[in-house]
Structure 1
Amino acid sequence: MEKLARRRVTAADVAREAGVSPATVGFVLNRTKGQTISEATRQRVLAASQRLNYKPHQAARTLRSGRNKVVLLVLPDWPVEHSLRTNLEVLTHALAAHGYALITYTPLPQSTAPPLWAILDPAVVIGYKPFSVQDVADMKSLGIRNIIPPPDQEVVEASPDFVLGPRLQGEYLLALGHTRLGFAKPADPRLEELVEARLQLLNQVCTEAGVAPAVAKQVDFQGPSGPLAIAQWRAEGVTAVAAYNDETAADVISAAVRHGLRVPEDLSVVGHDDSPLAARYLPSISSVAVDNEQLGLYAAGLALHYAEEQPLPDPPTGAAEIVPRESTAHIDGGHGH
């Protein structure tokens, strides 16, 4: 111990003290998943680490002190589409203006790597989905206290207008005289939960209007799903389709044109997100515009509130809205604007 006091204690010292391999020390202290380490061994490593007053290297100590200025954003396994990309860009710039760096992290079930919060020891951890009880306990055991959403809240509250895009899609198409609607789903399985939530909202509109639920079909620009969906919609009398996003709307239009249909005369299509693609496509795509910049600024405000005790930001209030373009028209062929 006297020799160890003259130099920095290393993980190898802890391994010798606990009678285990350095790898085991790393697995225990980094909370590496997928390892079959007994509880007795884990406690022995932790006790040895405490006895030797083991500290990570200087960079890690700086991180642990809270001077790291890192905000860790834990994302579900979602594709980075226009809406999320815009949100991340705004969040990154807003935090950078206050000296913080944004790091994104997506935990994957098959990964055995330690969670990134155990490596970075960030000033704030933000989750775009609620954290599990186990993850919250793990973060707290590492001294991480700034967790968003807080453990007693399910989600970060925001204006309900931001999630009512499918309602706007349905009300818009019904107002144009369409009474038989379709819903276009993307092929990406990672979006299944979000897709089903949007379909449910669209069907609520249909129920309230006294029309049949939307005919939901998967559409992909590759393979036969697009032409098949168009044929099935036509067979069931669908005259307008609400798409999950603008990319899916573009796939619907492409499949419809290849099927010999005219858009919007034979089939109206409305997208979601109002991405740059919507205005550039031919025909241009009617879409739901959502102020994702407000959501990014709100997340940044929450992070700064927890990290620096800045005032708690007000939830964003900007409403989503329909942006009419060439891809939609009245059922009688009139202009959809």
Structure 2
Amino acid sequence: MPPSRNKDAPAAVKVGAGKGGKAATINDIARLAGVSKKTVSRIINRSPLVREDTREKVEALMREVGYTPDPMARGLAFRKSFLIGMVYDNPTAQFIVNMQYGALDTLRDSGFELVVHPCDSRSPNYIDGVRRFVQQQKLHGVMLVPRVSEDQALADMLDEIGCRYVRIAAVAMDKPERMVVTHDHDGAAEVADYLQTLGHRDIALITGPADYRSAIERTQGFLGALERRGIVLPESRVVEAGYTFESGVAAAEKLLAAKKRPTAIFCGNDEMAAGVYRAALRSGIQIPQQLSVVGYDDSPLASRLWPPLTSVRRDTRDTGRMAAAMLLQSQDGPRPMASVRPHLVIRDSCQPPE
């Protein structure tokens, strides 16, 4: 007589348990576990109406066969989407990667998946492109990353089609429950205080594009803090660049070619600060002995430069976590605005002026 078998134990199966060796379906899981398809659906969606031993048996079986619920199929079955979108326009590569990691941290084990949509916000039909993306994917909600988060017309369009969204921006631009604010003004003000404390007064600023809200806030925060300490920068000491390495090189070359060089330069992001390093090296200027440099974002690049770059840290990954979590929350009633507070990370790229 063959040995008895526990009737609640899942049958031995192979990965690809579906017919013809195809990936297992929800019907396969129900058949192999000896339960109804509705029970499997309840387990996938974490319904409390399932016995714990049944839940454990079915979840063990799903892991064994490598079964993963299809978010689009679930959306059709439950008449709602299990997809979160992220819309962005030309941020630095590391910035968007960290933002994605943060969102995925939140979505892991939630049943939701992340889909991304890069776009060109300067294109005349980019809002129509975002509309098609949202409607074709039937998105549950959208994370709007700077710079597109600053576009009120885009937010209005999402409101019009009934798609929930969260805007990540330097300042509050919407209802509290739709905002993650990064307080760029405060981060830049901390840089100004630090450089002045070191004794710098002949300071230069390389800003981001003038139509980016983050660049506006960082510029105003930095200049305002200097003015409160009695330091007013002449126009020749403020150069607009494009948040890129190449534009940082060009801006630094202009500043360092002056008859009287600045003793310190604050850059609106780390990419442009790396450009300052390149220009200084070409000119034979030593950092920090002859020139102090500060960046913004505290990207991995900051600690890899030599000397390591002093930079303002804003936790991009945590920002992504917050934004995704807000989209998963109930929309019942107002909620407080989420905030990510920046702070200065001091390394070896600054010292008192000679």
Q: Which range, TM-score by smaller chain? A: 0.5 to 0.7
Deviation at 1:246, TM superposition (A): 1.5
The answer to whether the Cα contact below 8 Å between 1:64 and 1:122 also exists between their aligned partners in 2 is no
Counterpart in the other structure of 1:119: 136
- Whole-Å Cα distance in 1 between the matches of residues 115 and 213 of structure 2? 25
Q: CA deviation at 1:291?
A: 2.1
Say which of 166, 176, 182 aligns to 2:188.
Answer: 166
Residue 243 of structure 1 deviates from its aligned partner by: 0.9
Residue 339 of structure 2 is aligned to residue 327 of structure 1: no
Query: Aligned residue pairs: how many?
Result: 265
Q: Aligned partner of 2:114: which letter?
A: L
Aligned partner of 1:68 in structure 2 is 81
Distance 1:151 1:65 in 2: 33
**In structure 2, distance between residues paired with 1:132 and 1:279:** 36
The answer to whether the aligner puts 1:315 opposite 2:338 as a matched pair is: yes
Do the aligned residues in 1 keep the contact of 2:267 with 2:295 (CA within 8 Å)?
A: yes
* Superposition deviation, residue 285 in structure 1: 1.0
Query: Paired residue for 1:4?
Result: none
Residue 212 (structure 1) shift: 1.5
Alpha-carbon distance in 1 for matches of 2:266, 2:239: 11
Hey, what does 1:292 align to over in structure 2?
Answer: 316
Conservation of the 8 A alpha-carbon contact between 1:91 and 1:297:
yes
Q: Is the 8 A contact 2:189 2:225 kept in 1?
A: yes
Taking structure 1 as reference, are residues 170 and 116 closer, same or farther at Cα in structure 2, changes over 3 Å only? Answer: same
Is 1:231 matched with 2:248? no
Give, in angstroms, the shift of residue 230 of structure 1.
Answer: 1.3
Shift of 1:264: 0.9
Query: Aligned partner of 1:183: which letter?
Result: L
The CA deviation at 1:85 is 2.7
Aligned residues of 1:68 and 1:123 also touching (Cα < 8 A): yes
- Separation in 2 of the partners of 1:305 and 1:312? 10
Report deviation, 1:110.
4.0
TM-score by length of 1: 0.66
SS of the aligned residue for 1:199 comes to helix
Report which stretch shifted further, 152-161 or 200-209. 152-161
Task: Tell me how far apart the structure 2 counterparts of residues 138 and 64 of structure 1 sit (CA, whole Å).
Answer: 24
CA-CA distance at 1:252 after TM superposition: 0.6
Q: 2:114 aligns with which of 81, 102, 107?
A: 102
Per the alignment, in what secondary structure is the counterpart of residue 238 of structure 2? Answer: strand
Contact kept, 8 Å, 1:184 with 1:216, in 2: the verdict is yes
Deviations 1:172-208 (A, max 9, x none): 111100012111246xx59744323311211111111
Q: Is the 8 A contact 2:150 2:213 kept in 1?
A: no
CA distance in 2, matches of 1:61, 1:88: 22
State the match for 1:6 in structure 2. Answer: none
Rounded to whole Å, the distance in 1 between the matches of 2:287 and 2:165 is 47
Residue 335 of structure 1 aligns with which residue? none
In the alignment, what sits opposite 1:241? Answer: 265
The SS at the match of 2:143 is strand
Superimposed CA distance per residue, residues 54-75 of structure 1 (whole angstroms, 9 cap, x where no aligned partner): xxxxx69945954430112233
- Report the aligned-residue RMSD: 3.5
Cross-structure match for 2:229: 209
Cα deviation for residue 115 of structure 1 reads: 2.7
Q: Is the 8 A contact 1:305 1:312 kept in 2?
A: no
Q: Which residue of 2 aligns with 1:148?
A: 166
Structure 2 distance, partners of 1:130, 1:218, is: 19
* Equivalent residue in structure 1 for 2:301, among 265, 277, 287: 277
Q: Which runs of 5+ in 1 are unaligned?
A: 1-58, 333-337
Pairwise CA distance, 1:159 = 5.7
Distance 1:258 1:154, change over 3 A: same
Aligned-partner residue type, residue 74 of structure 1: V
Partners of 1:178 and 1:192 in 2: CA distance: 27
Report how far residue 299 of structure 1 moved: 0.8
Structure 1 residue 242 displacement after superposition = 0.5
Separation (CA, whole Å) in 1 of partners of 2:200 and 2:174? 44
Answer yes or no: is the 8 Å Cα contact 2:177–2:336 preserved in 1: no
The alpha-carbon deviation at position 87 of structure 1 amounts to 2.1
Please give the alpha-carbon distance, in whole angstroms, between the structure 2 residues aligned to 1:101 and 1:162: 29
User: Could you tell me how far apart the structure 2 residues matched to 1:227 and 1:135 are?
Assistant: 39
